[in-house]
């Protein structure tokens, strides 16, 4: 280190005791085993979130969140602003990859039982961030105010409305009225750029602090001979960064060669177009709703569907508290089978939703 940097370091260290942090990082190790590769997906998700914040701020410079101007402002970004097409395309692609990375991260944690004691809080904050991520996707989808988004938002908010008792007020709160209108766009814009990022950042800090403090979870069954762990700094960090670079390149290729469509402007007095469907990560739920009959016993089909998905989501969220096997160091068959069924269900229904 040259003398000037050393002086700066000494100046900071004297005031905020950087030495403790450096010592902590120096002692931190990442376990090495045949499942180590899954450790990287959390970092990839984080990287994509950072991309979203950056490109989101850039889009904010030109985006206009109103019924009359939203669609046109994105047209403007894509056709007139230098590299506007690139920034917008990256934001859309990174949003999808973010959800994908977060889902892979979540399932790897689930199957590795990394949520078990003492990491329940890390799991809970992660799951809440995944839900917020879906909220980011849902609210961001409407912002271009195109036809697909308009009807997707009608359906999505109406689903909230079918819940008994609380449904109606929640739907009106989300829509800013009885129907999806410009008022909905204003609210979703606010959620997307202020409310959700605020809560997300708070959870993210807790999540990362816990990961640093508790270290990486090790596999449950320590049958294999122990390999030497890898130092977090710099070995693991450098591998992380290398992967981030790969992801950035993939993102650039996708954004350039498969630019994100804008579609046609929403018209509240047009029929829902054929072939309408939500973003791929909502497809399995969307497809399920198609199969539900109008009435099941005394319930409307969609009420039952929503309640079932809600119950399943809650059970999934609470897995660290009902999985009794993993604290004993055993891979419980119930958890594994439930996970396989859920993954298979999501994949099959997503494929059906995509092609039917």
Q: What share of the chain is helix, strand, coil (3-state, %, to 5)?
A: 70, 5, 25
Q: Scan residues 183-202 and list those touching other proteins (CB under 8 A).
A: 183
Query: Does residue 237 contact residue 28 with C-beta atoms inside 8 Å?
Result: no
Among 70, 286, 319, 326, binds other proteins (CB under 8 A): 286
Give the nearer residue to other proteins in terms of CB position, either 279 or 302.
302
To other proteins, the closest distance from the beta carbon of 273 in angstroms equals 6
In degrees to the nearest 10, what's the CA dihedral of 239, 241, 243, 245? -150
To other proteins, the closest distance from the beta carbon of 274 in angstroms equals 5
Among 51, 159, 266, 283, binds other proteins (CB under 8 A): 159
Among 54, 167, 177, 259, binds other proteins (CB under 8 A): 177
Task: Count the helices and strands in the chain (H runs, E runs).
Answer: 15, 4
Tell me the CA distances in angstroms from 5 to 18, 25, 131, one per residue in order: 14, 20, 43
CA 243 to the chain's CA centroid: 19
Draw the binding track, 228-267, toward other proteins (x: CB under 8 A; -: no contact).
----------------------------------------
To other proteins, the closest distance from the beta carbon of 146 in angstroms equals 15
Among 5, 34, 275, 355, binds other proteins (CB under 8 A): 275
* Residue 264 in tokens: 């046609």
Q: Scan residues 50-109 and list those touching other proteins (CB under 8 A).
A: none
Tell me the CA distances in angstroms from 300 to 2, 74, 107, 157, 294, one per residue in order: 72, 39, 32, 17, 6
Give the nearer residue to other proteins in terms of CB position, either 125 or 157.
157
Give the nearer residue to other proteins in terms of CB position, either 30 or 266.
266
Query: Does residue 331 contact residue 221 with C-beta atoms inside 8 Å?
Result: yes
Contact stretch for other proteins (CB under 8 A) within 18-26, 204-212, 214-222, 284-292? 284-292
| Cα gap 95→122, rounded to integer Å | 22
Is 142 a binder of other proteins (CB under 8 A)?
Answer: no
Q: Scan residues 112-131 and list those touching other proteins (CB under 8 A).
A: none
| Cα gap 244→94, rounded to integer Å | 12
Among 273, 310, 313, 329, binds other proteins (CB under 8 A): 273
Give the nearer residue to other proteins in terms of CB position, either 271 or 328.
271
Is 135 a binder of other proteins (CB under 8 A)?
Answer: no
Contact stretch for other proteins (CB under 8 A) within 35-43, 218-226, 295-303, 308-316? 295-303
Entry field: residues in the chain: 356
* Residue 172 in tokens: 């009106």
Give the nearer residue to other proteins in terms of CB position, either 188 or 286.
286
Among 294, 297, 314, 328, binds other proteins (CB under 8 A): 294
Category of 297 on φ-ψ map: left (φ > 0), alpha (ψ -120 to 50) or beta:
left
DSSP class of 194: I
Residue 46 backbone dihedrals phi, psi, to 5 degrees: -60, -45
To other proteins, the closest distance from the beta carbon of 134 in angstroms equals 18
Query: Which residues are at the interface with other proteins (CB under 8 A)?
Result: 151, 154-155, 157-159, 162, 169, 172-173, 175-177, 179, 183, 268-276, 286, 289-290, 292-295, 300-302
């Amino acid at each position: 280190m040259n003398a000037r940097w050393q002086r700066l370091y000494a100046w900071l260290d004297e005031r905020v005791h950087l030495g403790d942090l450096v010592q902590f990082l120096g002692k931190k190790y990442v376990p090495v085993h045949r499942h180590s590769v899954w450790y990287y997906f959390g970092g990839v998700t984080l990287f994509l979130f950072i991309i979203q914040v950056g490109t989101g701020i850039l889009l904010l410079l030109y985006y206009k969140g109103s019924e009359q101007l939203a669609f046109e402002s994105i047209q403007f970004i894509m056709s007139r602003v230098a590299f506007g097409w690139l920034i917008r395309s990256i934001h859309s692609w990174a949003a999808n990859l973010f959800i994908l990375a977060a889902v892979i991260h979540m399932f790897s944690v689930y199957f590795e039982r990394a949520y078990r004691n003492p990491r329940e809080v890390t799991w809970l904050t992660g799951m809440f961030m995944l839900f917020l991520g879906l909220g980011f996707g849902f609210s961001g989808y409407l912002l271009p105010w195109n036809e697909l988004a308009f009807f997707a938002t009608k359906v999505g908010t109406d689903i909230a409305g079918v819940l008994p008792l609380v449904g109606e007020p929640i739907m009106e709160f989300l829509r800013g009225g009885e129907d999806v209108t410009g008022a909905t766009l204003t609210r979703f814009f606010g959620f997307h750029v202020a409310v959700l990022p605020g809560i997300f950042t708070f959870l993210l800090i807790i999540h990362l602090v816990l990961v640093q403090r508790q270290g990486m979870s090790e596999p449950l069954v320590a049958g294999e001979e122990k390999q030497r762990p890898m130092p977090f700094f710099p070995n693991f960090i450098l591998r992380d960064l290398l992967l981030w670079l790969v992801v950035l390149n993939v993102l650039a290729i996708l954004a350039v060669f498969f630019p994100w469509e804008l579609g046609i402007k929403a018209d509240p007095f047009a029929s829902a177009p054929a072939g309408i469907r939500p973003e791929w990560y909502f497809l399995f739920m969307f497809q399920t709703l198609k199969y539900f009959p109008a009435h099941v016993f005394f319930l409307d089909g969609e009420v039952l569907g929503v309640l079932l998905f809600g119950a399943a989501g809650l059970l999934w969220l609470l897995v660290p508290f009902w999985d009794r096997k993993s604290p004993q160091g055993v891979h419980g068959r119930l958890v594994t089978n439930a996970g396989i069924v859920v993954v298979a269900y999501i994949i099959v229904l997503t494929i059906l939703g995509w092609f039917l």
